[in-house]
Amino acid sequence: MSSLALVAVLALVVAALAGISWGLFIMVLGLLLLGWHHLRNLQRLVHWAREPVGSPLPRAFGTWDMIFADLGRRARVAYDMRDRLSTALERFHDASQAMPDGVMYLSDTDTIEWINLKAEQHFGLNRQHDIGAPVTNLVRQPEFVAYLASNHFAEPLVLQAGRRGGLTLQIQVVPFGDDQKMVLSRDISQLERLETMRRDFVANVSHELRTPLTVVGGFLETLIDGLDDYSREDVIHFLRLADEQSSRMRRLIDDLLTLSALETGAPAPAEEKIDVVELVREVTREVELLSAGRHQVELSMEGDGMLLGSHKELDSAFSNLGSNAVRYTPEGGRICIAWRRDENGGGEFSVTDTGIGVAPEHLPRLTERFYRVDRGRSRETGGTGLGLAIVKHILTRHQAELSINSRPGEGSRFAARFPSSRFKP
């Protein structure tokens, strides 16, 4: 009110000095009051606009009330939009960081503007230090530099990255905006390994089948061309050799079908409670028959239990380990088949031999399909090269782990460890 009184006094003084009438005085006073009203509301608006967040909207009447209401509504809409954009940006950032693929944004001069965590790992970058740096100063592989400079991005680039080239990346560049680029990177190392295994598998199967087929075909051709030239004993000998090769192919095909079913996730057989002591005794008898007295076969049992699983599959896995010991242990050697329960309630089946052993560099690959340390010896002993791959898959289906310890010239130990959850009272 002090400001209003000051305006009135000022108007009265002006009117007295100017000698104007009361009517004119009232008009002047009204104009001054109106000006003061607008000035006051303008000051309140400026004050509110400085800190609109959390400040109450100025109260007024008439036109200014409409102005304040409209500005308040617009401010609320703007704040809501800002909050939504901020939330969307945070979600985009979180989603980009969680992506399994690498994402990197480059400016029109190919400097790094933004990278996610996976791209940091793929290219060995650090966002704290590398943002703003030319990407070709940091990713220096000639293939990448040439690909980026070519501006032909219809096909992705496959790049060996990481230390010692241990990482295979598929890189795709997507241009956008004003000569900007988005670099997408995907780790295809596992796919490359699988493709290599597939090629090796096809080559090995072709070779393994071609050899016995060639032998059988040769025997048949010999007999067809000169049957009268051979005695009955010779013919029987040829037929027996052909039958051996036929059996070899049959074993190979059986193992391939078994491995295929295991690898493609075929439904597991119905689980049952298996008397593991009886199963190990059965496997030991099979090993003794296969050895035919050429080895000293021992059995060691510590503890019993009912193992939950497929009797057929576990018998196949245990028998494979036992037959391998017979195959690779010279005559007169010792083979020990053992079963024991551990203090945690789990169990372990193991086969230990005094055979030829395996060098350390071969151990990680023993469970690969068709991997052989000595291909000639494996074929001579009747192995298909798939036994340990089958064992590994069967044990995985039973939540068990296969461990291998071996020394050349000293022998080997293969052990299948089962968790306590696999045993039922």
Query: Residue 135's pLDDT is what?
Result: 92
pLDDT surpasses 60 at 221: yes
Q: How far apart are CA 207 and CA 229, in angstroms?
A: 32
Given a contact cutoff of 8 angstroms between Cβ atoms, the answer to whether 106 and 183 are in contact is yes
pLDDT surpasses 50 at 1: no
CATH superfamily of 99-187: PAS domain (3.30.450.20)
pLDDT surpasses 90 at 240: no
pLDDT greater at residue 232 or residue 34: 232
Query: Residue 416's pLDDT is what?
Result: 94
Q: Which amino acid is at 308?
A: L
Query: Residue 247's pLDDT is what?
Result: 74
* Lowest mean pLDDT, pick from 108-117, 160-169, 310-319: 160-169
**How far is the first Cα of the chain from the last one, in angstroms, to the nearest whole number?**
94
224: part of which helix (H) or strand (E)? helix 189-226
- 3-state secondary structure at position 357: coil
Q: What confidence tens digit (pLDDT) does each residue in 374-397 have?
A: 655 445 555 667 778 888 988 988
pLDDT surpasses 80 at 4: no
Query: Residue 171's pLDDT is what?
Result: 93
Entry pTM: 0.53
For the residues 254-270, what does the mean pLDDT come to?
A: 69
Residue 111's pLDDT band (boundaries 50, 70, 90)? very high
Q: What is the DSSP letter of 58?
A: P
Query: Residue 28's pLDDT is what?
Result: 55
For the residues 237-260, what does the mean pLDDT come to?
A: 74
Which residues on neighbouring strands pair with residue 334, listed in sequence order?
296
Q: Where are the domains of the chain?
A: 2-94, 99-187, 191-263, 272-424
- Does domain 191-263 bear CATH number 1.20.1440.130? no
Bridge-based pairing state of the strands 272-275 and 180-187: unpaired
Q: What confidence tens digit (pLDDT) does each residue in 329-374 have?
A: 999 999 999 999 988 889 999 999 999 998 888 888 888 777 766 6
pLDDT greater at residue 82 or residue 137: 137
Query: Residue 298's pLDDT is what?
Result: 94
Q: How far apart are CA 45 and CA 136, in angstroms?
A: 53
412 C-beta neighbours (distance < 10 Å), count = 24
Q: What confidence tens digit (pLDDT) does each residue in 21-71 have?
A: 555 556 655 665 666 667 777 777 676 666 665 566 667 666 777 777 777
Given a contact cutoff of 8 angstroms between Cβ atoms, the answer to whether 303 and 340 are in contact is yes
Query: Residue 208's pLDDT is what?
Result: 66
Query: Residue 267's pLDDT is what?
Result: 67
CATH top class, domain 272-424: alpha beta
Q: How far apart are CA 76 and CA 70, in angstroms?
A: 10
Q: Which amino acid is at 39?
A: L
Residue 218's pLDDT band (boundaries 50, 70, 90)? confident
Bridge-based pairing state of the strands 296-302 and 157-161: unpaired
Among the listed residues 15, 13, 61, the one whose alpha carbon sits nearest the alpha carbon of residue 38: 61
CA 95 to chain centre: 17
Query: Residue 296's pLDDT is what?
Result: 94
- Mean of the per-residue pLDDT values for the chain? 80
